Amino acid sequence: MPGACAMTRIQPAAAPSAPFCAIDFGTSNSAIALCGPDGRMGLVEVEPDQRTMPTAVFYQTEDLAAHEEPQRIYGRPALAAYVQGHEGRLMRSMKSILGSTLADQSTDVGAGRSVRYLDVVSGYLLRLKQLAERDAGAPLTRAVLGRPVYFVDDDPVRDAKAQQALENAARAVGFRELSFQYEPIAAALDHEQTVAQEELVLVADIGGGTSDFSLVRVGPERRRRLDRKDDILANHGVHVAGTDFDRHVELASILPLCGYRGKGPQRPGEAPREVPSRVYFDLATWHLINTVYSPPRMAELRRMRDFYGDPRQYERLMRVLDERLGHALIGQAEAAKIAVAQGGSTRIALDRLEDGLAVELDEAQAVQALDADLERVVNAAGETLQAAGVRPESVDVVYFTGGSTGFKPLTDRIAARLPAARALRGDRFASVAQGLGVHAQRLFG
């Protein structure tokens, strides 16, 4: 997307004094920036002493009366409620349903209740909005929303549909004036606040759902401009990032113990067949986990005992399903990925599947499991430069932001493609929100 910039949609202007905000609605974590009384943008405290919040909602269904709706719990308390075993449904990675057929569908949350996926998104946006209005002391109707370079790879129609769905969710909770900005452009705006001279920057925004790259000219003179279209040389992205990494770690380390790529029984004259793998791919994908627990799927899987040559693998799989451990296992895979990034190796305890069961994961194993995805991300960086007609040695800075840039093997590979560039790291979880705030201030302020 050479020279692309996000489309701005502004409705009839509000009073100049009306407050405004900027929302980074992320796959894994979210934040909101608010213009304060002094005219400066700052991140809202969305949880005690926290400026970012996990993009998670828990629908708690314990002891519901017939007329009651489930209580909705957000962020870290949502994750805690799930881990503590409260009855209900945990929803994460809601951003990944935008542009898919799931957006307009409903899903069961327990106790005979269901909710539309898009209503889950709007409810989460409403939570962020209410937290910001608490600090603003007034209703918020103007906002900048971040978006990935591509919600959906190689499908402009579905990509436009995804942005429209996010816009509809934002308007449903009371935002009337909306503008969209690409998330890596926002990160560049955040970085630009500290630069002393003009630079050519490749922004690598690698989060939970997408890996986005933007090649941008920044500098003290350029940051005074509202229209930065000429400073954006190229945008590119792929729908591969942290949640995909978690899936591959789980498939490589945890799910083989439950039969993934396991073999069936040995029959005379036949080579053992590999057991069907669909259930494992669904268990390793956040927004598909609950589909495995449906009565038809469970009935089908209960009839598959004879498919397994190792009965222990089947028993572990059925324990995962009967006790609904899918989200817990992918959470353990995510934690293992983080631990490997920080310390080189980790031990994944799986006592909930079988007493004393555990598996070791080290950096080499993680890199092997993620190699294809890592290469896709690194190649996307190179394709961004090609789209701009810029040679790698001409890039001054590669600026890393997003939660998945904590995985050093990935950032090392990207940096190696840019031999002359300084590798700088922004706030992995807040740079985009802060940059969206910069854009909002220029747009509305």
Q: What is the CA radius of gyration of the chain?
A: 23
Query: Exposed, middle or buried by CB within 10 Å (0-12, 13-18, 19+), for 138?
Result: exposed
* pLDDT digits 0-9 by tens, 199-213: 999 999 999 888 999
| Rounded Cα distance, 131 and 173, in Å | 13
23: helix, coil or strand? Answer: strand
* Residue 6: per-residue pLDDT: 43
- Can you name the residues that pair with 76 across neighbouring β-strands? none
> Where are the alpha helices (H) located in 4-143, listed in sequence order?
75-83, 117-136
Percent of the chain with pLDDT over 70: 96
pLDDT band at residue 5 using 50, 70 and 90 as cut-offs: very low
Q: Is residue 299 classed exposed, middle or buried when 0-12, 13-18 and 19+ CB atoms within 10 A define those classes?
A: exposed
pLDDT value for 269: 83
* Six token digits for residue 14: 């509000």
Burial status of residue 155 (CB atoms within 10 A of its CB: 0-12, 13-18, 19 or more): middle
- The domain locations on the chain are 8-195+427-444, 243-367
Q: What is the 3-state secondary structure (H, E, C) of 156-198?
A: HHHHHHHHHHHHHHHHHCCCCEEEEEEHHHHHHHHHHCCCCCC
Is the CB of residue 216 less than 8 Å from the CB of residue 153?
no
CA distances, 175 to each of 148, 166, 385 (Å):
20, 11, 36
Q: What confidence score (pLDDT) does residue 267 get?
A: 84
Residue 416 has pLDDT above 50, yes or no: yes
| Highest mean predicted confidence (pLDDT) among 155-164, 269-278, 392-401 | 392-401
**Minimum mean pLDDT among 188-197, 287-296, 310-319, 391-400: which range?**
287-296
> Binning pLDDT at 50, 70 and 90, where does residue 17 land?
low
- The mean pLDDT of the chain is 90
Task: Give percent of the chain with pLDDT exceeding 90.
Answer: 68
Render pLDDT for 303-339 as a digit per residue (tens, 0 to 9): 999 999 999 999 999 999 999 999 889 989 999 999 9
CATH domain 8-195+427-444 topology: Nucleotidyltransferase; domain 5 (3.30.420)
pLDDT recorded at residue 341: 86
| 211-220 pLDDT, tens digit each | 999 999 999 9
Number of H helices and E strands in the chain, helices first, is 12, 19
Beta bridge partners of 73: 58
Q: Is the pLDDT of residue 139 over 80?
A: yes
Identify the weakest region by mean pLDDT among 125-129, 134-138, 152-156, 312-316. Answer: 152-156
**CB of 282 closer than 8 Å to CB of 247:** no
Q: Structure tokens of 363?
A: 């950096």
* Burial annotation 46-81 (CB, 10 A radius, 16+ → b, else e): beeebbbbbbbbbbbbeebeeeeebebbbbeebbeb
